[in-house]
A and B are shown apart, each in its own frame.
Chain A
Amino acid sequence: MSIEKILIIIPAYNEAENIERVVDNLITKYPEYDYVVINDGSSDDTRKICACRGYNFLDLPVNVGLSGAIKAGMRYANYYGYDYVVQIDGDGQHDPKYIAAMAGLMEEVDCDIVIGSRFKTEKKPGGLRMLGSRIISGAIHMTTGRKIQDVTSGMRLFNKRMIKRFGYDIHYSPEPDTLAYLLNCGFHIEEIQVQMHDRTAGTSIYKNPLASARYMLQMMFSIFLFQWVRKKNET
């Protein structure tokens, strides 16, 4: 796989404290990859930092959420003819050193998505956040027969087929329900063990219990009901 064809998309919403560290690390240590920061209508200095530092970034004028930011990144990748897209978070949780291994695995087994998983070989810890992950993982297992350990991982590698779908289809969000649907459509999804860093600054959206409950409700409806009425676009 030629590394020139990989694009790293970094969705960033109010990541002023992290974005410089994340992108500078990428530029200095991994100059072989192209990248694009998607500033998702941040209300802090994220845009200013990206502009001052001369980063390659898409500046969305209003906040559209993670799903919309990923869609913008996928359309960018499609527009400039990239073959592979890696999504990493703007908070520095994901280490780009795993991208080569992910790309290698994609080439080796010819799969459509490679997930950078925290729990491929390591045991999943307890806790409320992991309870949600376990429930979604169980739901996917029940409906597809496949076990995905780290369903909420934000580090994923997509191939060209996925770039088109994630960029142009209303139902394709970077969430676990899409993984379940894709598995049932016959697409191939693999996981690879990675280590993730803790967030050094800022807060995660999943800290809010109401938002978590809403998210779980959406996932359950989508996995158990809505995916069966969606058209199956097979490979």
Chain B
Amino acid sequence: MSRVLRIMLLIAAVFSAWWILLKIRKCKVKMEDAIFWVCFAAILLIMGICPEFTYWLTGVFQMQSPANLIFLIIIFLLIEKVFTLSIITSQLEDKVTVLSAEVALRSHADEQVSKEEEQQIKSMDAKSTETAVSENDQPHKS
């Protein structure tokens, strides 16, 4: 493993860990969503610090060079993340659909209720004016 690759791994590990922890501090991300990135950073860190471990793993997977293995691991982790994010996005889309339908339904129901109330008030008003008019129309009995 070249020294440059190891330094790049270390920089990537430190940067991703620092970035996600900063987001937690600023309340921009939920803590459970940060676990993946902390693990991701830890894997990069281990591979950068212990090249012996990376060489051993390269042998286990019968690959040509540790660089290939590192790329493979990173691609695998990112594909997994994209996959889970895709699932979460479609669930969220469904939730937004349900949410907008429910909001529309409930505001419609509220409008119906207020219309009925308005009509009731109007009919009561009409009745009271009718009775007032009929009382006025009656001739005075002297």
Interface residues of chain A, those whose CB is within 8 Å of chain B, are 61-62, 169-171, 177, 217-218, 221-222, 225-226, 229-231
Instruction: Give, as a whole number of angstroms, the nearest-CB distance from B23 to chain A.
Output: 10
> Could you tell me if B38 and A61 are in contact, using CB atoms closer than 8 angstroms?
no
Tier of interface size on chain B: 10 to 19
> Could you tell me if A62 and B35 are in contact, using CB atoms closer than 8 angstroms?
no
Pick the interface stretch among B2-10, B25-33, B74-82, B126-134.
Answer: B25-33
Give the total number of A-B pairs whose CB atoms are below 8 A apart. 38
Chain A residue with minimal CB distance to B96? A62
Pick the interface stretch among B52-60, B62-70, B98-106, B110-118.
Answer: B98-106
Residues of A within 8 A of B95 (CB): 62
18 pairs, CB–CB < 8 Å, chain A vs chain B: A61-B98, A61-B99, A61-B103, A62-B98, A62-B102, A169-B27, A170-B27, A171-B27, A217-B35, A218-B35, A221-B38, A225-B38, A226-B31, A226-B34, A229-B22, A229-B24, A230-B25, A231-B25
> Could you tell me if B24 and A226 are in contact, using CB atoms closer than 8 angstroms?
yes
Instruction: Give, as a whole number of angstroms, the nearest-CB distance from B17 to chain A.
Output: 10
| CB contact under 8 A between A171 and B30, given known A61-B98, A62-B99, A217-B35 | yes
Residues of B within 8 A of A169 (CB): 27
Instruction: Give, as a whole number of angstroms, the nearest-CB distance from A199 to chain B.
Output: 26
Interface residues of chain B, those whose CB is within 8 Å of chain A, are 21-22, 24-25, 27, 30-32, 34-35, 38, 95, 98-99, 102-103, 106
> Could you tell me if A222 and B31 are in contact, using CB atoms closer than 8 angstroms?
yes
Chain B residue with minimal CB distance to A177? B31
A1–B142 CA distance with the chains assembled, in angstroms: 70
Chain A residue with minimal CB distance to B35? A221
A170–B24 CA distance with the chains assembled, in angstroms: 10
A204–B112 CA distance with the chains assembled, in angstroms: 39
Known: A226-B24, A230-B25, A231-B25. 9 other contacts (CB 8 A): A61-B106, A62-B98, A62-B99, A62-B102, A170-B27, A170-B30, A221-B38, A222-B31, A229-B25
6 pairs of A and B residues whose beta carbons are closest in the complex: A61-B102, A229-B21, A226-B31, A170-B27, A62-B95, A218-B32
Residues of A within 8 A of B99 (CB): 61-62
> Could you tell me if A221 and B31 are in contact, using CB atoms closer than 8 angstroms?
yes
Chain A residue with minimal CB distance to B30? A170
Residues of A within 8 A of B31 (CB): 171, 177, 218, 221-222, 226
Residues of B within 8 A of A225 (CB): 38
Instruction: Give, as a whole number of angstroms, the nearest-CB distance from A181 to chain B.
Output: 10
A170–B35 CA distance with the chains assembled, in angstroms: 16
Residues of A within 8 A of B102 (CB): 61-62
A169–B27 CA distance with the chains assembled, in angstroms: 8
Residues of B within 8 A of A170 (CB): 27, 30
Residues of A within 8 A of B25 (CB): 229-231
> Could you tell me if A230 and B32 are in contact, using CB atoms closer than 8 angstroms?
no
A177–B35 CA distance with the chains assembled, in angstroms: 14
Q: Which of A62, A177, A217, A231 has the most chain B CB atoms closer than 10 A to its own CB? A: A62
